[in-house]
Amino acid sequence: MLDHPPKERAALSWGYVVLWSALTFVTIPFVRYGVTFVKQRWGSEVFTYVVAACVLLAAVSALYATRRRWSLSSFVWLFGIAGLVIYLTFGLADGNPEEAIHYVQYGVLSLLLFRAFSHRVRDYSIYLAAAIVGTLVGMMDETLQWLVPGRYFDLRDIVLNMKAVVLVQIGIAAGVRPRMISGWPDLVSVRRLCYLSAVMLGYLGLCLQNTPDRIAWYASNVPGLGGIDPDRSIMVEYGYLHGDATNGFFRSRLKVEDLRRASMERADEGRRILDQYRERERYQEFLTLYSPLADPFLHEARVHLVRRDSHMRRASNTEQRDRQARYFATAYWENRILQDYFGGVIRGSSYEWSAQNEADVKAAADLSKPYHSAVSKHLIVRFSPMQMALLFAGAVGAFLFGGYACTRALRQRGVG
């Protein structure tokens, strides 16, 4: 298995890569319908079990294909990686189990990329090249989702796609160990890696500069882009990390002083608006009217409230004590964040907890671990847009220089 290049021509092998990628892209507008259908018919857990079964089948198939040169280390690597992917798959079960499908999609893509590159690349750089291109395809996937109504760009999905691609390459390198691949990269391979890395990082760097204010600008000023809604087509946002281990950590688009000022100055208005949209059926309407771009303060307050109340319902609907304690803990911490930073609009509203209710929840909650709110978790807080731009520009420049240096060295040798 994978000991020889594919029998088909290189163009056809790359055609398989393009076809699989295109299949992933064209299904983007319809995925949610399929996910909803599966959940309603068989339950959300089916995604977890199907992906786990696919991973086990892939590991067994790889082991069978290499049976004539089987070794204990190959077995350990193949089933160790399979176990890790299954562990990661079950880790998604409590949130969005359908996201585990990425492991199958990008695992297959990773294998196809290895086959395509193997026509020309026979040294160890093939694994890095396949991983880089697979990650780039994952970024393009997320960019297309950003353009499709009802779908979203998510850096966490890019990381998930990258994990799938990289883990399959590790499985091929350490578990399958193709005989046709050997030796460290020569200058041609290093140059290829440099230019591929520059393209991938340049693409990601541009995505990380596509903030809502920039989207709003070119949606208004660039012909043909007026259909992009900056309130819904959000690619990346920057913000701030607030809180401490005693009161919980959370991310916000606003500074602490801005949150507390809005809490005081907009107390009456905020209470009225939040109470007006209290019903769960009106939540999406609220998010549309009070989007992160239009009103980040009320938007964040409402999302914290939804997270608090949804975990209270989960705690009431389960009889498992440990799970119930975790749900109560989430509700308690979210309420603390609301009291400390959004208190003006919560006090006196229909959302306010009584002192007794808060005490009961605290007593039933597992508060042993520091809390990090999942609200606005996607916000980038460690770097500003300018810092990110400089960081990626420097990295892209370094790889381009590396590729140029390899080209010069090859020319001096009369190669390439």
For the stretch 162-188, pLDDT in tens is 999 999 999 999 999 999 999 999 999
> What letters, b where the CB count within 10 A reaches 16 and e where it falls short, cover 152-173?
ebbbebbebbbbbbbbbbbbbb
Q: What number is the average pLDDT over the span 191-212?
A: 96
- Please spell the DSSP secondary structure of 33-81, one letter per residue: HHHHHHHHHH-THHHHHHHHHHHHHHHHHHHHHTGGG--HHHHHHHHHH
For the stretch 378-396, pLDDT in tens is 899 999 999 999 999 999 9
Name beta bridge partners: 326: none
pLDDT at position 47, please?
92
> What letters, b where the CB count within 10 A reaches 16 and e where it falls short, cover 290-310?
bbbbebbbbbbbbbbbbbbbe
Instruction: Count CB-CB contacts under 10 A for residue 247.
Output: 15
Is the distance from CB of 150 to CB of 288 less than 8 angstroms? Answer: no
Q: Is the pLDDT confidence value at 3 over 80?
A: no
Query: How are the residues of the chain apportioned to helix, strand and coil, as percentages rounded to the nearest 5?
Result: 70, 5, 30
Q: Is the pLDDT confidence value at 2 over 90?
A: no
For the stretch 285-321, pLDDT in tens is 999 899 888 899 999 999 999 999 999 999 999 888 8
pLDDT at position 362, please?
94
pLDDT at position 167, please?
97
Average pLDDT, the chain: 92
**Residue 81, Cβ density class (10 Å: 0-12 exposed, 13-18 middle, ≥19 buried):** buried
| Residue (of 167, 177, 182, 172) closest to 70 by Cα position | 177
The radius of gyration of the chain from alpha carbons, rounded to an integer in Å, stands at 25
pLDDT at position 1, please?
63
Q: Which helix (H) or strand (E) holds 336?
A: helix 321-341
Contacts of residue 141, Cβ cutoff 8 Å, sequence gap at least 6: 21, 24, 25, 28, 157, 161
Q: Is the pLDDT confidence value at 207 over 80?
A: yes
What's 174's DSSP letter?
I
Q: Which helix (H) or strand (E) holds 199?
A: helix 187-207
pLDDT tier for residue 233 given thresholds of 50, 70 and 90: confident
pLDDT at position 415, please?
65
Is the distance from CB of 167 to CB of 81 less than 8 angstroms? Answer: yes
pLDDT at position 416, please?
59
For the stretch 74-128, pLDDT in tens is 899 999 999 999 999 999 887 788 999 999 999 999 999 999 999 999 999 999 9
For the stretch 37-85, pLDDT in tens is 888 888 888 999 999 999 999 999 998 888 887 788 889 999 999 999 9
- pTM, two decimals, is 0.86
pLDDT at position 401, please?
98
**Residue 248, Cβ density class (10 Å: 0-12 exposed, 13-18 middle, ≥19 buried):** buried
- Determine the Cα–Cα distance for residues 94 and 194; give it in Å rounded to an integer: 39
